[in-house]
Amino acid sequence: MEILKLLDDSDCIENYEIIDYKHWSTGFYYKLKAIFTDESALFAKEYFDSNERNYSFHWQQKDSHLICRWDNAPHHKSIATFPHHKHCHDGIYESKEISLVEVLKTIRQQFKSVK
């Protein structure tokens, strides 16, 4: 599974826990928590089947303050990437990061820019 390899190979993830995982012939569901080396946490969940896809990737600081949350809940219709959007501490923005792979790459870039 690509996601597990990405989590295992990441140099900025301290540990992770797969909270739930289900798969069937036309789809899957997972829920996980990853802790990064700075003690921030990513709570990720995704549901996918042939008719529907829902996701939420919530990244927060150690003290639970939001860093960013990416999701595709069908609100914020004025966003050009509707229904895909991200919530940041200072507002709601367009989002091109719509998979866990893309979100983890974005987070990793944040870690690299701090160093």
Note down the domain range covering 86.
2-108
- Picking from 12, 13, 11, 43, the residue whose alpha carbon sits closest to that of residue 30 is 43
- 22 found inside a domain: yes
Q: What is the pLDDT of residues 39-51, one digit of tens each?
A: 999 999 999 999 9
- 115 found inside a domain: no
- 70 found inside a domain: yes
What total of structural domains would you count in the chain? 1
If you write DSSP's letter for every residue of 44-112 in order, what string do you get?
Answer: EEEEE-SS-EEEEEEEE-TTS-EEEEEE--S--TTSTTTT-EEEETTEEEE----SHHHHHHHHHHHHH
- Hey, what amino acid is at 60? Q
- 84 found inside a domain: yes
- 113 found inside a domain: no
- Picking from 64, 11, 73, 20, the residue whose alpha carbon sits closest to that of residue 42 is 64
- 91 found inside a domain: yes
- 114 found inside a domain: no
Overall pTM surpassing 0.85 (yes/no): yes
Evaluate if residue 111 carries a pLDDT over 90. Answer: no
pLDDT, average across residues 19-29: 95
